[in-house]
Amino acid sequence: MFAKDGKSKDVVTPRICETVWHDGEFINWNDARVHVMSHVLHYGSSIFEGIRCYDTKRGPAVFRLREHMKRFLNSAKIYRMDHGWTLDQLFDASVELVRRSGLEQCYIRPILFRSLDEAHPAFGVNPFPNPLACYIGAWDWGQYLGEEAIEKGVDVCVSTWNRLTPNSMPAMAKSGANYMNSQLIKMEALVNGFAEGIALDDRGYVSEGSGENIFMVSGDSVIQICNELGITVKERSIQRAALYVADELFFSGTAAEITPIRSVDRIAVGSGERGPVTTKIQSAFFEITKGERPAPGKWLTYVNESKQVQSPGEVLTDAARSRNDPSGDDSQAILVYQTASGD
C-alpha cells in the first residue's frame, strides 16, 4: 500500500549511469544541465521515450530499441521539432551508453526538448526560436509499481481525471506536456491509497493507466504476446463497469512491464490475485526479455555484440572513464486492450 501523502518513492533507483549522451558527445551526469529559463521548463516542450535493457546470458539486451526510437522520431515530427538525428545514430548512442554504463540491466531515457539560446534568448509560447537539445540517460530501475506487484498484483482506482481528447493533445506523441495529465491521475491514486489510477476518455470509456496500457481478460478470454501463444487479440472500447466484472486485468508498459491488477476501486478482480492467462503471458514476456525464448521479431539488441561507437568529442573525467570500462489450454482466449503511453 502506498503512503497517503504520496511522497514515498514507488520505484527504487539503485544505480545511475554516470555518463549521459548529449548531442553526439558523452558527458558526465553532473554536467547534464539546462538553463532555468529554457522553453521546456515553462511550456512543457519535450518529447521522450522509455526503454528497458534486460540482463541475459549474452549480456545486456535492449528490448525493441529500434521501435522505441522510431516512436521517438515520430513524436518529434508531430511537434515540429526539426533536428538532425537519425534513427541509426540514436540507436547506436543508446547501445554505446549502456555499454559504458557497466549496468547489467537498466532503463534508458532519450529526451528531446526546446532549450534556450542564452546569447539570443526568446520567450513566449512560440517554440520555434528556441534551440533543440537531445540527451540520453540511463539508470537501474526496479519494478515500477512495487517489488511484489509482478506476482501479487496492484490495487488501483478509476480516476476522476479524464484523458485528453486526441484533437486537444496528440496522444500518439510521447510528450512531457501529456504527462501533467498523468501526474494528476497518479497523485490522486497515491493519496487515496492506491498504486495506480485508470483514466477514462472523454466519452466515459476506459482509456489507460497514468503510464501504462491496460488489458482485460473477460469470459474465457485474454491477452498477448498472443499470436505466439495462440491467443486472439481484439481492441475495443471498454466501459468502466467492465473492469469490475473482468476475469483478469493487467497493465503493460516499458516501466510497468506486465503487472497484474488485483482490485479496482476496492472491488476484487476475479479471484483477487494474478490469474492464469496473465501468468502465461507474463512468463512468456520475461522469457523473451531474458533471451530464453525466441521473440516474434528481432526484439533484443545485445549490447556486447553490437559495434562500438566513438563519440566525436568526449567530456569524461578519468574517474568516469574507469567506471565505464567495464497451465491450461487458452488457445481460444481473447485479449481486450486499451493502448496507452506505456512509459
For 320, the enclosing helix (H) or strand (E) is helix 318-323
Catalytic residues: 174
Does this model's pTM top 0.75? My answer is yes
Whether 228 and 43 have beta carbons less than 8 Å apart is answered as: no
Per-residue pLDDT of the chain (343 residues; tens, 9 = 90+): 344 556 665 666 779 999 999 999 999 999 999 999 999 999 999 999 999 999 999 999 999 999 999 999 999 999 999 999 999 999 999 999 999 999 999 999 999 999 999 999 999 999 999 999 999 999 998 777 777 888 888 999 999 999 988 889 988 899 999 999 999 999 999 999 999 999 999 999 999 989 888 887 654 522 446 667 776 666 778 888 888 888 899 988 888 888 999 999 998 998 999 998 889 888 988 999 999 988 878 899 999 988 777 666 565 433 333 333 333 333 344 455 555 455 6
Percent of residues in the chain assigned helix, strand, coil, to nearest 5: 25, 25, 50
Query: Which residues have a Cβ under 8 Å from the Cβ of 2 and sit 6 or more positions away?
Result: 8, 10, 189, 190, 193, 194, 195
Could you tell me the three cell numbers for 165?
481528447
Residues 6+ apart with CB under 8 A from 73: 85, 87, 90
The Cα–Cα gap between 336 and 220 comes to 12
